[in-house]
Structure 1
Amino acid sequence: MKKNKWKITAAAILGTAGILTAGYLYWCTTLDDKVIWKDVSINWVALQGKTIEAAEKAVQEQFKKDYQDSEITVSLAEKNYEVKIFPVLSLNASREIREAYRPGHGKWYVRGMDKIKLKDQEPVSLEILPKASEPEKLDEAIRKTGIEKVNTVKETTWDQDKTSRK
């Protein structure tokens, strides 16, 4: 009799484990979507729920909004020149966006574990600064100010009052 109880218990455990495994694997197949699962933001743009393309577009739009009026002031010959630097700047957040996309988009049978792990993670906020990508555009922006036409040569004067020969 004890042998039958043990067989029934083992069968129940194996059956339950099989049902749970099948349920988990089915859940993993239903989690196939093309959006970022991770709660991450780049330059205050939330990426969760966005596709890679939508995330890149949103980050670039925010970059343009934040930096399109950026300028530097150059002082020369007691005059200030404003140089618009937005055309020189670029922002590349592709690597960070693809890293945020990675959880849940690997092997199909680990998507469920990725989903569970992400529930316990704190939101991540990244700040990426733009870089000067095209120096020739900086030269063009400086030329537009007219600063190159400024003559900074100062004429010196001198007086000679007495000369002597010995």
Structure 2
Amino acid sequence: MTDTSHLKIIEKRLLWLSHWMIHHANHIRPKADGIKTGGHQASSASVVSIMTALYFSALRPEDRVAVKPHASPVFHAMQYLMGRQTREKLMNFRGFGGAQSYPSRTKDIDDVDFSTGSVGLGVGISALASIVQDFVRAEFRPIIRFG
């Protein structure tokens, strides 16, 4: 049996930090207009175990992940724990200059594989990437075999 106690510790930290980001954006950070910033605590909580297991145990360097947009607080918190995201970006989550409300390759400083946007593109882009990967592997197999 594999010891996963270290994953549980990371999972708890990610859950706390992702929820803090949303709370800070809505209730602590000053807003000129007073409008709630939003955020999706339940969507983050629903994937924190999966993302913890993937990123801290299962993924290989060549693997790619499309994170659902509503789980971006967990993604940004995870990147922060790995040293790929700044505290300032977390404090300004969903604000000007802060971490984006969805993982973005062009707007975020952390390691984003796919920009999923807010319209559910994650499934489509990851499926297409998988098909292209399979095609490339099938079409460009080495002709010379050793052994």
Return the index of the structure with the highest Cα Rg.
1
TM-score > 0.5, shorter chain as reference = no
Structure with higher helix content: 2
Of structures 1 and 2, the one with the larger relative CO (CA 8 A, separation 6+) is 1
Q: TM-score scaled to structure 1, two decimals?
A: 0.28
Structure with higher strand content: 1
